[in-house]
Amino acid sequence: MTDVAINPIPPLQGFVLVLIQFAVSEELRLDQLQQTDSARTVQKPSMKHAAPAYVRYKRPPIVEPLDALVLETGERLEGEIKYYDYGVVSVVYQLPFAGDWDALVQLASRWIWEIDFATNVEPVVRQRLERSPAALVKPNARWLSEDYFIFHVREADGAPSAAEMSRHRGDEIAQVVRGDRMKLSEGERNEVLNSQISYYASDMTVIGWNAAFLYDSSLGAETAIQLLEYANSQLLEFRHYDEVLTAILDSVYDTLDERRGMLARWRLARSATNLHTVLLDVAELTERADNAIKFLSDMFAARLYKLAAAKVGVPDYKDLVAQKLRTAEELYDYMVDQFNQSRAFFLEVTVVLILLIELVYAFRGRPM
């Protein structure tokens, strides 16, 4: 009797995803992008439980499929591209994974630190946008980019609970989230595992600043993946606004240094008007990015997003933008005040000159 070789089932099965995002313009006209046959609108994220509450996009992004990306290692990644109305383009590539924990740790480290996905993907995004140039409103001269990695374990040997997974595989999970091949210290391990959230006893999401580990079904992981993608797109937008405001403030400071004296103050009116116009534009754009998605009664999704946003740095950059907006508003008030002082001085000088002229004519007309 011939023995039949049986392939053992891998202890871990799932997907590895990389999100690559670019800030391309102040706004994207989704109606222009939706004219292609392959484009479709993103549906609302699936929730963890059957309930009338859900997460709602104010203006859902447009999605198109992408050709597969083949890495130098031969790995073939399937992908799609998403267009957000607030000027962000997001590319998502995924690769099926089956193997053990050591293989996942090695793959995570290699993808996070050794592969420049942004450089490979940017030409693809530019080529797609060249088909609809009218869709870009005020294109950015320089594209900022963000990438983020999601390691989704759909099935694990023995179907452990989230608590068991954390207790017995916490070291490996921490290494995956940090992208580190070496075992981390207990303190760093605990720091990583403290950033986890679960809805059921059988699922967990561990979120880091540049990667996340998901242990969930394919359907259950959809919510976390979409919210992680949205949080990173917000980070990218606030980074862009931070750069814009930094350049504006530098320009204003240079203007104030160059324009000293009474006549120079008079010319501040136009600079103040331009500054105020930019402030209104940035405030409107940041509000649009901040309110692009709404959580209607689904507290778990809201908590997951809040954790994701905090870990990737959205609140930090949001605070920086708010602080620079306040500084710019104070500079605007100062410039307007300087202009008003110059105008008041000019009016006073004008009144004095008129009085002097009237006095001269009055004395000239008096008989000797």
What tokens were used for 170? 């916490």
In 3-state terms, what secondary structure has residue 69?
strand
How many structural domains does the chain have? 2
- Considering the domain architecture, whether residues 128 and 246 belong to the same structural domain is answered as no
Position 253 scores a pLDDT of 73
CB 231 within 8 A of CB 243: no
Predicted confidence (pLDDT) per residue in 206-233, tens digit = 999 999 999 999 988 998 999 999 999 9
Crossing angle, helix 268-290 and helix 314-364, to 10 degrees? 160
- Considering the domain architecture, whether residues 205 and 118 belong to the same structural domain is answered as yes
- Considering the domain architecture, whether residues 210 and 271 belong to the same structural domain is answered as no
Predicted confidence (pLDDT) per residue in 96-110, tens digit = 999 999 999 999 999
**DSSP per position, 233-250:** HHHHHHHHHHHHHHHHHH
Element (DSSP H or E) covering residue 189 = helix 186-193
How high is the mean pLDDT of the chain? 82
154-159 long-range contacts, Cβ below 8 Å, gap at least 24? 154/13, 154/14, 154/15, 154/216, 154/217, 154/218, 154/221, 155/12, 155/13, 155/14, 156/11, 156/12, 156/13, 156/215, 157/9, 157/11, 157/12, 159/202
Position 347 scores a pLDDT of 66
- Considering the domain architecture, whether residues 184 and 45 belong to the same structural domain is answered as yes
Whole-number Cα distances in Å, 74 to 68, 95, 111, 133 = 11, 11, 13, 33
The answer on pLDDT for 56 being more than 60 is yes
C-alpha closest to that of 79 among 100, 101, 63: 63
Can you tell me the mean pLDDT for 168-184? Answer: 96
Listed in sequence order, the residues at least 6 apart from 235 whose beta carbon sits closer than 8 Å to its beta carbon are 146, 309, 312, 313, 314, 317
- Considering the domain architecture, whether residues 216 and 288 belong to the same structural domain is answered as no
C-alpha closest to that of 89 among 81, 100, 77, 101: 81
Domain boundary among 189, 220, 251: 220
- Considering the domain architecture, whether residues 266 and 117 belong to the same structural domain is answered as no
Predicted confidence (pLDDT) per residue in 316-367, tens digit = 988 888 888 787 777 767 666 666 666 665 666 677 777 777 777 777 655 5
Position 263 scores a pLDDT of 47
Which pLDDT band, with edges at 50, 70 and 90, does 49 fall under? very low
Position 282 scores a pLDDT of 72
- Considering the domain architecture, whether residues 143 and 238 belong to the same structural domain is answered as no
- Considering the domain architecture, whether residues 212 and 93 belong to the same structural domain is answered as yes
C-alpha closest to that of 179 among 108, 81, 275: 108
> Model pTM greater than 0.85?
no
Position 91 scores a pLDDT of 97
Which pLDDT band, with edges at 50, 70 and 90, does 52 fall under? very low
Domain boundary among 220, 245, 264: 220
Position 323 scores a pLDDT of 85
Listed in sequence order, the residues at least 6 apart from 353 whose beta carbon sits closer than 8 Å to its beta carbon are none
What tokens were used for 130? 């060249």
C-alpha closest to that of 69 among 47, 84, 91: 91
Position 19 scores a pLDDT of 97
- Considering the domain architecture, whether residues 245 and 302 belong to the same structural domain is answered as yes
Does residue 33 lie in a domain region?
A: yes
Residue span of the structural domain in which 155 resides: 12-220
- Considering the domain architecture, whether residues 280 and 137 belong to the same structural domain is answered as no
- Considering the domain architecture, whether residues 185 and 238 belong to the same structural domain is answered as no
